[in-house]
Amino acid sequence: MKREKLASQLSADLAVLQRKWHAAVQSGQALPSYEEVMLGSLGRLADNMALLELSVARPGVTRTGRYVQQWLGDERWDIPLDTLSPDCAMALVQVASSALQNKRPYLSTAHFVRDGIVQKYVLLALPTASRWGNTLVGVYVNEDGLRYNLLDAIFSSTDDGIVSLTAIRGSDGRPFDFQIVHLNEGASALLQQSVNALQWSLLSGGRNFLCEPAVMARLLALVDSGGQDSLSIDTDNRNLSLGVTAFGDIVSLTISDITSLKKREESFRLLFDGNPMPMWVFDAATTEFLNVNDAAVQHYGYDRDAFLRMTLREIWPRDEWAAHSLALLQVGDSYQSGGNWRHLKADGTEIQVMTFGRRVVFNDREGFLVAVVDVTERRKAEAKIAHMAHHDGLTNLPNRALYQERLQQALEQARGGGGRVAVLCIDLDLFKNVNDSFGHPMGDRLLRCVADRLRAQIGGNDLVARLGGDEFAVVLASVASPNEASDVAARLIELVSAPYDMDGLEVVIGASIGIALAPGDGDDCDVLMRSADMALYRAKAAGGGCHHFFEKEMDRQAQRRRDMERDLRHAFARGEFDLHYQPLIDLAEDRVSGFEALLRWHHPERGMVSPADFIPIAEDIGLIVGLGEWVLRQACLEAARWPNDVKIAVNLSPVQFRSRNLVQVVISALAQSGLSPRRLELEITESLFLADSEANLATLHQLRSLGVRISMDDFGTGYSSLSYLRSFPFDKIKIDRSFVKDLTERPDCLAIVRAIAGLGRSLNITTLAEGVETVEQLDALRAEGCHEVQGFLFSPARPAAEIAGLLMKFGHAASKAA
Ligand X SMILES: Nc1nc2c(ncn2[C@@H]2O[C@H](COP(=O)(O)O[C@H]3[C@@H](O)[C@H](n4cnc5c(=O)[nH]c(N)nc54)O[C@@H]3COP(=O)(O)O)[C@@H](O)[C@H]2O)c(=O)[nH]1
In the complex, the residues that contact ligand X under the rule CB under 6 A are 582, 596, 598-599, 610-612, 615, 628, 631, 651-653, 713-714, 734, 737, 770-773, 790-792, 796-797
> What Å distances lie between residue 519 and 426, 482, 661, CA to CA?
20, 11, 49
Alpha carbon distance 36, 814 (integer Å): 153
Residue 682, SS3 per DSSP:
strand
CA nearest neighbour of 95 among 85, 105, 86? 105
Nearest residue (CB) to ligand X, 545 versus 771: 771
Nearest residue (CB) to ligand X, 439 versus 796: 796
Alpha carbon distance 686, 39 (integer Å): 138
Give, for 526, the enclosing helix (H) or strand (E): helix 525-541
Alpha carbon distance 326, 378 (integer Å): 26
Q: How far is the CB of 682 from ligand X (least distance, A)?
A: 10
Nearest residue (CB) to ligand X, 316 versus 715: 715
Alpha carbon distance 363, 101 (integer Å): 56
Q: How far is the CB of 762 from ligand X (least distance, A)?
A: 24
Task: Say if residues 425 and 478 touch (Cβ distance below 8 Å).
Answer: no
Neighbouring C-beta atoms of residue 504, cutoff 10 Å:
5
Q: How far is the CB of 426 from ligand X (least distance, A)?
A: 33
Nearest residue (CB) to ligand X, 558 versus 617: 617
Nearest residue (CB) to ligand X, 291 versus 653: 653
Q: How far is the CB of 664 from ligand X (least distance, A)?
A: 18
Nearest residue (CB) to ligand X, 210 versus 625: 625
- Residues sharing a CB contact under 8 Å with residue 452, sequence separation 6 or more, in sequence order: none
**Angle at the Cα of 632 (from 628 to 637), degrees rounded to 5?**
150
Residue 632, SS3 per DSSP:
helix
Nearest residue (CB) to ligand X, 531 versus 651: 651
Nearest residue (CB) to ligand X, 110 versus 640: 640
Q: How far is the CB of 654 from ligand X (least distance, A)?
A: 9
Nearest residue (CB) to ligand X, 428 versus 598: 598
Alpha carbon distance 505, 520 (integer Å): 44
Task: Say if residues 458 and 464 touch (Cβ distance below 8 Å).
Answer: yes
Nearest residue (CB) to ligand X, 21 versus 601: 601
Alpha carbon distance 697, 682 (integer Å): 14
Residue 245 φ then ψ, to 5°: -130, 130
Could you tell me which residues are beta bridge partners of residue 51? 63, 138
Any idea what DSSP says for residue 742? T
Q: How far is the CB of 387 from ligand X (least distance, A)?
A: 47
- Residues sharing a CB contact under 8 Å with residue 605, sequence separation 6 or more, in sequence order: none
Q: How far is the CB of 480 from ligand X (least distance, A)?
A: 48
Q: How far is the CB of 610 from ligand X (least distance, A)?
A: 5
**What's the distance, CA 76 to chain centroid?**
85
Beta strand 117-129 with 135-149 is antiparallel
Neighbouring C-beta atoms of residue 305, cutoff 10 Å:
9
Type of residue found at 479: V
Q: How far is the CB of 571 from ligand X (least distance, A)?
A: 13
Nearest residue (CB) to ligand X, 320 versus 773: 773
Q: How far is the CB of 716 from ligand X (least distance, A)?
A: 12
Q: How far is the CB of 757 from ligand X (least distance, A)?
A: 17
- Residues sharing a CB contact under 8 Å with residue 172, sequence separation 6 or more, in sequence order: none
Q: How far is the CB of 740 from ligand X (least distance, A)?
A: 8
Task: Say if residues 179 and 202 touch (Cβ distance below 8 Å).
Answer: yes
Nearest residue (CB) to ligand X, 291 versus 634: 634
> What Å distances lie between residue 267 and 190, 262, 264, 294, 359, CA to CA?
24, 8, 5, 16, 18
Nearest residue (CB) to ligand X, 10 versus 712: 712
Neighbouring C-beta atoms of residue 116, cutoff 10 Å:
9
> What Å distances lie between residue 735 and 86, 653, 740, CA to CA?
132, 18, 8
Alpha carbon distance 123, 105 (integer Å): 10
Q: How far is the CB of 694 from ligand X (least distance, A)?
A: 22
Half-sphere exposure of 815 (CA within 13 A, CB side): 17
Nearest residue (CB) to ligand X, 468 versus 626: 626
Q: How far is the CB of 598 from ligand X (least distance, A)?
A: 4
Nearest residue (CB) to ligand X, 582 versus 593: 582
Q: How far is the CB of 761 from ligand X (least distance, A)?
A: 21
Task: Say if residues 159 and 260 touch (Cβ distance below 8 Å).
Answer: no
The gap between the terminal CA atoms of the chain, to the nearest Å, is 148
Residue 659, SS3 per DSSP:
coil
